[in-house]
Structure formats: structure tokens, C-alpha cells
């Protein structure tokens, strides 16, 4: 079998999300609208679920698939315990795009003591995201 570079991350650590309720294709559309994701590849299964997808967001890889409870010991639970962080050039621009696309605000975007403008969101699939950028001094 030939390797498909679009199927693989570049380097480093790559989050690989399980999307519940057969909504991975919908998640790709959301991440495109909310975070400017670029879809590099998508591999559907015979039953219509998404076996694998590879996106680029803010220069980094994000992989995902629909839940396959028959291969993992049961259905995936509610996402918990992981925050996906986007360090960006314009926190307000990225934030507004994500909120306009339907992300739920869980910690308002604000200037923080460590020098970033930072906030937290939850996407429609239960995954948590944070957005940060250096505070712009005027």
C-alpha cells in the first residue's frame, strides 16, 4: 500500500479527536468556519462513517474520526480533560470567527496577567479550545 502524505501529520504531537454521533463530517465544516481549517484528506468507511480525516489549523495538524464503538470497547464518552490551544496573531479575530460559527464561550476573552489576550470555548461536539495572542499595546 502506498503512503499518502495527506493522511499523516508533519511532526510533533497531533491531536486525534473522536467525534460522537456520526458527526465528524459536520465537525470538519465547523472547524473550517470557526478556525479556518484546511481539509487535507478524508477517508469514509463503507457504512458512511468517517474513518479518518486530516485537517490543518493554524499551521498544525488535527486528525479526527467518527466513533467506532465496535472497535474501542463501547461508545466514546463526553470529551473531557483536554484543551486544544490556538496561539494566534489576533485573538479577537479568531475568537469572533469561532463564536460566529457556533462555539460556546466558557471563559470570556480578556487580557490576562501573563501578557496574553486569552479565552476558552467549547465546540458543538464537546471539545474545549482556548485562543490566545500577546496583548496588543497601543
What are the tens digits of pLDDT across the range 21-35? 999 999 999 999 999
CATH number for the segment(s) 83-134 = 3.10.180.10
Nearest residue to 123 via CA among 27, 55, 21, 20: 27
pTM: 0.89
- pLDDT (average), residues 61-89: 91
Angle at CA 107, nearest 5°, toward 87 and 53?
Answer: 50
pLDDT for 72 equals 75
- Phi first, then psi, for residue 74 (nearest 5°) are 135, 170
For domain 14-68, is the CATH number 3.30.2130.30?
A: no
Local confidence band at 53 (pLDDT 50, 70, 90 cut-offs): very high
Q: Do domains 14-68 and 83-134 have the same CATH topology?
A: yes
Condensed to tens digits (0 to 9), the pLDDT of residues 82-134 reads: 999 999 999 999 999 999 999 999 999 999 999 999 999 999 999 999 999 99
Write down the domain spans for the chain. Answer: 14-68, 83-134
Amino acid at each position: 500500500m502506498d503512503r499518502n502524505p495527506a493522511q499523516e501529520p508533519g511532526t510533533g504531537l497531533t491531536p486525534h479527536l473522536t467525534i460522537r454521533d456520526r458527526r465528524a463530517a459536520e465537525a470538519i465544516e465547523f472547524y473550517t468556519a470557526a478556525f479556518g481549517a484546511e481539509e487535507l484528506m478524508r477517508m469514509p468507511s463503507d457504512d458512511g462513517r468517517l474513518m479518518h480525516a486530516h485537517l490543518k489549523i493554524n499551521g498544525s495538524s488535527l486528525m479526527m474520526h467518527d466513533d467506532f464503538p465496535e472497535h474501542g470497547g463501547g461508545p466514546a464518552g463526553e470529551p473531557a480533560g483536554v484543551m486544544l490551544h490556538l496561539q494566534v496573531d489576533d485573538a479577537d479575530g479568531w475568537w469572533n470567527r469561532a463564536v460566529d460559527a457556533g462555539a460556546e464561550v466558557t471563559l470570556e476573552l480578556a487580557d490576562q496577567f501573563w501578557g496574553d489576550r486569552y479565552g476558552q470555548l467549547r465546540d458543538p461536539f464537546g471539545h474545549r479550545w482556548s485562543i490566545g495572542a500577546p496583548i496588543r499595546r497601543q
